[in-house]
């Protein structure tokens, strides 16, 4: 199932961060036409976005390894953004 | 649109360090406090602060608040108000220890006291030698501060309204502030928060510049709302810049890169710093380097398609040195500048970092205007306020100090005010209509101006015309350009009109605040014919105390400017008289 449109928008707003570096990565991730996200990927993204900024940046910059396989797929796309 | 009303004793807009500190003071006193934030509190921009919080604890050697005060006044290039500066420096140790007791995980010395690191501009014995004054929690000081304060607020039962955007101030006929209108992102509803006192802690507006170290949320909302409500803005021409941010992206490239041998080149590949600073070259002080970079760009020797940046060359250092001595720089350059510094230079540009000006307050956090003094029921603290502690230039680590000291002070002033103003003032009939009209205009706009385009235009105009080094012709054109954007601003439009989490609508509303902030900056900068602190003019290279030892006040109505005296009189000690600022 593709992610519900409003849930998408919620995640998009939650991509506004306190650290500029994350804003920039997430801006690219969302750049038009925007990423394909199904419900499971939406849930993974929501969990990533719920992390403290510094921890998320460490993951995105590959400074620490990701220990949670459920996050891997979306994280790889964030890193590539 | 129906406007529902919610009543609180106090409404605070902003949940960064200053908003949280103020809220704690008020909730702990048993008041019903609402804190509004566009993002979850611990994702406020305060999270970005790494360097630390300054306080003369004297844990590493002798220190005193008088020395801290001297450094702050000198840093401010004598534009700071000395009563506010004394207040901050004297109170700093107390609020830092208090934060320690709130659970802030400060780095420690072997004897258990808070460890303090050195930081530029902080000295012992009135400029004699460097002193270690910055208290930090590894490189996550801001993050730790937000968490410690947030948890205390949860305990004190502060009510958080997360993902709510304040739109406009509500004032009555006498000018008293009665609260704010705010948009709930989840539903698109607009609610009027009716309060006995309203406190702004909305942070800075660094996004007015094309190159900025600030996160995207820093759109100057508090300043914009105040300006629209007829409150003047103070000293908006003063913005701190960092010489080397990644062009366009804004991510900082530490000055250590030049320390390790990185050099700056113009589009012709010339090492231009040799011309501006023959001895120190690329290692000259921040302002000298920034000024040289801006001059190269202005004179058409900038690199890139738009000739708008400078090249920071590292490849001659070799991959080993880059990887070993400059860890992290390579990954930042690859990720945010799209270049590998082992092979290519990094495009850099002087980048906006901190807003010194803001909503005019005294050291008690009360908003003060020339027309009648304190605005009843209105307070401001943190980067959106101007007490003025930082004057023309802020010292490193003094912003976090300001958040704690001014957040608490503003909170205490509200408590005092509420003793004599125990009930809500009645709302005028048209309360909230300004915000509703703004929304209705936006939603009804046919074929409107694209928000991203107009924002880009403002940012590029500010960067080119009102950047780190300011030229008279560029400023004059800049004022014209910013004024000319008024028409486009009145016609911004959005395609998505849905009510739920409509990011496009939020960004259009933020743009109004970016515009007010930018306009105030440009107009004040053109008017101030001197160089002082961060305001650096090519045509008036010297500080002029005779004419300009005064604060600017900008009014939105008619772009009017007024001025007020700098307070050179501290609270209890001797004044520190203006003298040349040399380091
Ligand atoms: C990269 C970087 C590093 C820094 N390092 C240091 C340092 O080491 N030491 C130091 O002293 N200073 C440092 N600074 C400066 C310092 O971090 C900031 O000045 C300070 O954190 C600002 O705090 P604040 O409480 O005023 O606002 P912020 O932390 O910016 O918070 C603003 C709050 O207002 C809310 N808000 C804004 N508009 C609205 C609205 N319309 N409706 C609802 N809510 C709204 C936001 O959601 C947020 O909660 C640094 C700055 C940067 C950019």
Phi–psi pair at B61, nearest 5 degrees: 150, 175
pLDDT at B109: 96
pLDDT for the residue numbered B409: 98
Token digits for B311?
């090249």
- Provide mean pLDDT across the span B136-149: 95
Best residue in A6, A9, A14, A18 to probe B by mutation, most B CBs within 10 Å? A18
The pairing of beta strand B190-200 with beta strand B373-380: parallel
The response to whether residue B409 sits with its C-beta less than 6 Å from ligand 1 reads no
Put simply, whether B38 touches A (Cβ < 8 Å) is: yes
**Which residues have C-beta within 8 Å of that of residue B28, sequence separation ≥ 6?**
B156
Question: For residues B572, B574, B580 and B583, what is the CA-based torsion angle, rounded to 10 degrees?
Answer: -60
| Per-residue pLDDT reduced to its tens digit, B260-294 | 899 999 999 999 999 999 988 998 888 889 999 99
Give the residue, out of B11, B12, B15, B16, with the most ligand 1 atoms within 8 A of its beta carbon, to mutate for a pocket test.
B16
Q: For residue A5, what pLDDT band results from cuts at 50, 70 and 90?
A: confident
Give B204 Cα–ligand 1 centroid separation in angstroms.
6
Report the C-alpha dihedral over residues B219, B220, B226, B229, rounded to 10 degrees. Answer: -30
**CATH architecture of residue range(s) A5-80:** Orthogonal Bundle (1.10)
CA count, 13 A, side-chain hemisphere, B266: 21
B51 pLDDT band, cuts 50/70/90, is confident
End-to-end CA distance of chain A: 23
- Structure-model confidence comparison of residues B255 and B434, the more confident one: B434
Among B106, B182, B203, residue to substitute to test ligand 1 (most atoms within 8 Å of Cβ): B203
Q: Binning pLDDT at 50, 70 and 90, where does residue B428 land?
A: very high
Question: In this model, does residue B430 exceed pLDDT 70?
Answer: yes
The per-residue pLDDT for B325 is: 84
In sequence order, what DSSP letters do the residues of B124-162 get, joined into one string? ETTTTEEEEEEE-STT-HHHHHHHHHHHHHHHTTPEEEE
Q: Quick one: pLDDT at residue B532?
A: 96
Q: What mean pLDDT do residues B73-100 have?
A: 97
Q: What is the pLDDT of residue B58?
A: 97
Whether residues B143 and A52 touch (CB distance < 8 A) is answered with yes
Please say if the pLDDT value at position B72 is more than 70: yes
Per-residue pLDDT band at B120 (split at 50, 70, 90): confident
Mean pLDDT of chain B: 96
Percent share of chain B, pLDDT over 90: 91
pLDDT band at B581 (very low <50, low <70, confident <90, very high): confident
Instruction: Find the B107 Cα to ligand 1 centroid distance in Å.
Output: 22
Domain boundaries, chain A: 5-80
| Cα Rg, chain A, nearest whole Å | 12
Query: Looking at chain A, which residue has its C-alpha nearest residue B206?
Result: A20
B309's enclosing H/E stretch is none
pLDDT digits (tens, 9 = 90+) for B471-501: 999 999 999 999 999 999 999 999 989 999 9
> Is B152 part of the annotated catalytic residue set?
no
Is the backbone of residue B352 left (phi > 0), alpha (psi -120 to 50) or beta? Answer: beta
What are the structure tokens assigned to A78, written together? Answer: 């964030």
Say yes or no to pLDDT of B249 above 60. yes
The answer to whether residues A30 and A15 touch, using CB atoms and an 8 Å cutoff, is yes
Question: What pLDDT is attached to residue B2?
Answer: 60
What is residue B351's DSSP assignment?
E
Extended strands (E) in B216-345 = 233-234, 239-246, 263-265, 310-313
Rounded to an integer, what distance in angstroms lies between the CA atom of residue B157 and that of residue B97?
23
Whole-number pLDDT of residue B434: 95
- Which residue has a Cα nearest atom 27 of ligand 1? B203
Q: What is the mean pLDDT of residues B146-157?
A: 98
> Which residues, other chains included, contact A37 with Cβ-Cβ below 8 Å and sequence gap of 6+?
A2, A3, A8, A11, A45
Q: Two tokens at B284?
A: 């000259």
The sign of the dihedral angle between the CA atoms of B100, B105, B107, B110 is positive
- Please write the tens of the pLDDT for every residue from B341-367: 999 999 999 999 999 999 999 999 999
How far is the C-alpha of B464 from the C-alpha of B308, rounded, in Å? Answer: 8
Say which of B43, B140, B286, B491 is annotated catalytic: B286
Query: How confident is the model at residue B84, as a pLDDT?
Result: 98
B1 has a pLDDT exceeding 70? no
CA of B65 to the centre of ligand 1 (A): 25
Chain A hits for B335, Cβ within 8 Å: 21, 25, 61
CB contact under 8 A, A20 and B42: no
Q: Give the tokens for residue B296.
A: 């190269």
Q: What is the ipTM of this complex?
A: 0.97
């Amino acid at each position: 199932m593709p992610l519900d449109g409003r849930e998408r928008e919620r995640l998009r707003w939650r991509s506004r961060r306190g650290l500029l570096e994350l804003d920039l990565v997430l801006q690219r991730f969302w750049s038009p036409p925007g990423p394909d996200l199904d419900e499971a990927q939406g849930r993974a993204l929501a969990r990533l976005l719920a992390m403290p900024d510094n921890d998320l940046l460490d993951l995105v910059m590959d400074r620490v390894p990701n220990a949670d396989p459920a996050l891997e797929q979306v994280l790889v796309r964030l890193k590539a953004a | 649109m129906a406007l529902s009303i919610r009543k609180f004793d106090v409404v605070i807009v902003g949940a960064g360090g200053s908003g949280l500190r103020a809220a704690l003071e008020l909730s702990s006193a048993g008041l019903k406090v609402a804190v509004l934030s566009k993002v979850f509190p611990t994702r406020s921009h305060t999270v970005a602060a790494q360097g630390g919080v300054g306080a003369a604890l004297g844990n590493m050697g002798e220190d005193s608040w008088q020395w801290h005060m001297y450094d702050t006044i000198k840093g401010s290039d004598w534009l700071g108000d000395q009563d506010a500066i004394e207040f901050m420096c004297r109170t700093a140790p107390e609020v830092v220890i208090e934060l320690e007791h709130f659970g802030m995980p400060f780095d420690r010395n072997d004897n258990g006291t808070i460890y303090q690191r050195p930081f530029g501009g902080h000295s012992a014995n009135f400029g004699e030698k460097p002193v270690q004054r910055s208290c930090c929690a590894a490189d996550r000081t801001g993050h730790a501060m937000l968490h410690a304060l947030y948890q205390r607020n949860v305990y004190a039962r502060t009510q958080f309204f997360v993902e709510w955007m304040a739109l406009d101030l509500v004032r009555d006929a006498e000018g008293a502030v009665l609260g704010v209108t705010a948009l709930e992102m989840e539903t698109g509803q607009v609610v009027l928060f009716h309060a006995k006192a309203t406190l702004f802690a909305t942070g800075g507006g660094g996004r007015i510049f094309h190159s900025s170290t600030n996160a995207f949320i820093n759109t100057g909302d508090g300043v914009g709302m105040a300006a629209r409500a007829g409150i003047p803005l103070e000293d908006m021409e003063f913005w701190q810049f960092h010489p080397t941010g990644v062009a366009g992206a804004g991510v900082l490239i530490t000055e250590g890169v030049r320390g390790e041998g990185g050099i700056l080149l113009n589009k012709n590949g010339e090492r231009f710093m040799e011309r501006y600073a023959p001895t120190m070259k690329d290692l000259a002080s921040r302002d000298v380097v920034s000024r040289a970079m801006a001059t190269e760009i202005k004179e058409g020797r900038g690199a890139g398609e738009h000739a708008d940046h400078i090249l920071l060359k590292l490849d001659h250092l070799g991959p080993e040195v880059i990887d070993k001595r400059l860890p992290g720089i390579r990954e930042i350059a690859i990720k945010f500048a799209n270049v590998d510094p082992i092979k290519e230079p990094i495009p850099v540009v002087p980048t906006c970092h901190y807003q010194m000006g803001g909503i005019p307050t005294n050291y008690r956090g009360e908003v003060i205007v020339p027309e009648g003094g304190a605005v009843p029921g209105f307070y401001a603290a943190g980067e959106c306020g101007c007490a003025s502690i930082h004057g023309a230039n802020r010292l490193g680590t003094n912003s976090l100090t300001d958040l704690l000291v001014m957040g608490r002070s503003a909170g205490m002033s509200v408590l005092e005010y509420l003793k004599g103003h125990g009930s809500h003032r009645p709302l005028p009939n048209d309360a909230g209509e300004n915000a509703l009209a703004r929304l209705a205009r936006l939603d009804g706009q046919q074929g409107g101006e694209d928000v991203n385009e107009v924002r880009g235009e403002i940012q590029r105009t500010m960067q080119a015309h009102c950047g780190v080094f300011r030229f008279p012709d560029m400023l004059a054109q800049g004022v014209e350009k910013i004024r000319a954007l008024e028409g486009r601003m009145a016609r911004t439009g959005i395609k998505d009109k849905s009510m739920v989490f409509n990011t496009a609508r939020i960004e259009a509303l933020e743009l109004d605040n970016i515009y007010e902030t930018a306009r105030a900056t440009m107009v004040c900068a053109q008017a101030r014919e001197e160089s002082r602190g961060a305001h650096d003019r090519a045509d008036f290279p010297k500080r002029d105390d005779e004419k300009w030892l005064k604060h600017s006040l900008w009014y939105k109505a008619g772009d009017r400017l007024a001025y007020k005296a700098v307070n050179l009189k501290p609270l209890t000690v001797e004044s520190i008289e203006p003298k040349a600022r040399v380091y």
